[in-house]
Structure 1
Amino acid sequence: MADASWLPDPTGAHELRYWNGSTWTEHVSDQGTPGHDALTTELPPPADAFPPPPTSPPAGAEPAQAAPAGKVSWRDRLKQVADQGRAMADQGKQKLAEQNAKRTEQWANDPNTLWFGESKNAATSAAGISKARYRITKDRVWIESGLLGTRTESVPLWSIKDMDVRIAVWQQGKDVGDVVLTLEDPSYGATQDMFNVSGTIEGTTSGQVVLDNVESPYAVMDILSPLISEARQKKTMERQSTYVHTMTPTMPYGAPPPQAAPTQPAAAPQVDMVEQLRKLGELRDAGILTEEEFAAQKAKVLGG
């Protein structure tokens, strides 16, 4: 029986196949590249004359322990699973890259978009994907985050009371940094995990929104500054208008106060005619009025 060695593949499918001294194995070699190809039928042993072995026996080869005919060894199965996993990961990365490219094209063609960018990360950028994408319109900052699923959030510009640029050590020299937005109401900075089913906030929030790892962070801040100032001014006027309407609901905002109606003079009290005649009679009886004067005054009272 021939000794263990690399020999011409009796099936003709490969250049060499490893003979372990008692049976043919699944180990094969083509142009110096080792591989695996399980046998499905039993092959006869090699002849007495053999060419010199081109290489040493394959690593992990176990003499006299060939896989049964028609079955795949555990090494081959492990390799197949690893290859399938890599293929699925590559397909997932390609799909995410296509989605990112489509979303970027939509934002670029939207007239409401004033700026858009994404979080720059060495690992995700190399694969053509990003963990977060940002967009600025005239009234809001939009944030899309997530790799396997996308979550969209937005922050109104009037709620931003301050902003700053933060550059870490590993970001220096790359024109990359974080734009930190400090919010007027901390609830706008709450993440989705901080809300329960009822919609109330659980726990404390930082009151900040961070556009992390964006290119040209100072240019982004220059774009936001006038937009935030205008939005906050409009919000202040809106609040003032609401306050005025609440205090005087029947008076339009900015209208002059209504003029008071002129007061009518009080009507003179009417004197009882019978009472006047009685007094005239008493004056006549007392000799104060003559008959002629009494008759003249009586005519005035009766004539109205």
Structure 2
Amino acid sequence: MTGMTEMNPTSTTILWTGASQDLTSLATGGRLQTGSYTVTEDAIRFASGLISTREESIPLWMVMDADLTQHISQRVRGVGDLTLRLDPRYAGRFGQALLILRSIENPSAVRDLILRQANAVRQFWAQRSYERDIELRRAGAVSTNIVVPTVTAAPAAPAAPALEPAPASGDLMAQLVKLGEMKTAGLLTDEEFTAAKAKLLA
């Protein structure tokens, strides 16, 4: 069973790094920054503060959506604020439901990068959980409840996972029950659930 601890970020591969290009940064020639941000393959790491610095990390699978805002002075400087909405079910563990990357350069490209990578990470853990659950069932283990965040709409929609071929009539009900559990756990969209169910009943 995939747990939250296993899903903690571990990658050190950096996909993007940047800092707040706000008035404080401009006034000091970049010597003082109110925020710095790094996106790795599986996390967003950020530090904020001028006198004392607070460093935190948010797993990418928590990012559900992103909003970009630019006021006039930001648009002139080519920067903007990127607000990331995090999965509220895990806000208590990570202490926040929103993460704002303030006054970052090329914000639309950063938004697309984060959403694309967040979706890829969620697909990875969903597929891993699905494969592990299938292995447990084949070994005769009791079906487990999978804790995986719901896959959000993003540039690439995940493909429906392959079902075990030609289930025996006695196993049909178990397969249908399993499909329902996967849909409830967020591993299947409504469309994927309907298609998989139709395939079983064909």
Q: TM-score range by the shorter chain?
A: 0.5 to 0.7
- What is the CA–CA distance in structure 2 between the aligned matches of 1:113 and 1:149, rounded to whole Å? 24
Structure scoring higher RCO (CA < 8 A, sep ≥ 6) equals: 2
Matching of residue 125 in structure 1 with residue 26 in structure 2: yes
Q: TM-score, normalised by structure 2?
A: 0.55
Hey, what does 2:82 align to over in structure 1? 179
RMSD across aligned C-alpha pairs, in angstroms? 3.4
Does the 8 Å CA contact 2:47/2:56 hold for their aligned counterparts? yes
Query: Which of 115, 127, 130 pairs up with 1:240?
Result: 130
Q: Secondary structure at the match of 1:236?
A: helix
Q: Which residue in 2 is equivalent to 1:138? A: 41
1:150 paired residue among 53, 76, 89: 53
Contact 2:24 2:34 in 1 (8 A): no
Q: 1:115 aligns with which of 9, 16, 38?
A: 16
CA distance in 1, matches of 2:140, 2:94: 42
Question: Are the structure 2 counterparts of residues 246 and 175 from structure 1 closer, same or farther at C-alpha, using a change threshold of 3 Å?
Answer: same
Overall identity of the aligned pairs, in %:
28
Assess if the C-alpha contact under 8 Å between 1:155 and 1:188 holds in 2. Answer: no
The 2-side partners of 1:161 and 1:112 are apart by: 22
Structure 1 pair 190–130 and aligned structure 2 pair: CA distance change class (3 A): farther
Cα distance, 1:133 vs. partner? 0.3
Q: Unmatched 5+ residue regions in structure 2? A: 1-11, 142-162, 168-202
1 CA distance for matches of 2:56 and 2:139? Answer: 36
**Shift in CA distance, 185/236, structure 1 to aligned 2, threshold 3 Å:** farther
Give the aligned partner of residue 181 of structure 2.
Answer: none
TM-score, normalising length: structure 1: 0.38
Secondary structure of the residue aligned to 1:178 is strand
1:227 equivalent to 2:117? Answer: yes
Which digits, 9 at most, give the CA deviation of each residue in 1:275-296, with x for residues without a partner?
Answer: xxxxxxxxxxxxxxxxxxxxxx
Query: What one-letter code is carried by the residue in structure 1 that aligns with 2:108?
Result: Y
Question: Please, which runs of 5 or more residues in structure 1 have no aligned partner?
Answer: 1-110, 193-204, 258-304
Cα contact 1:179–1:212 (8 A) shared by 2:
yes
Q: Matched residue of 2:113: which SS?
A: helix
Matches within 5 A, 1:10-89: none
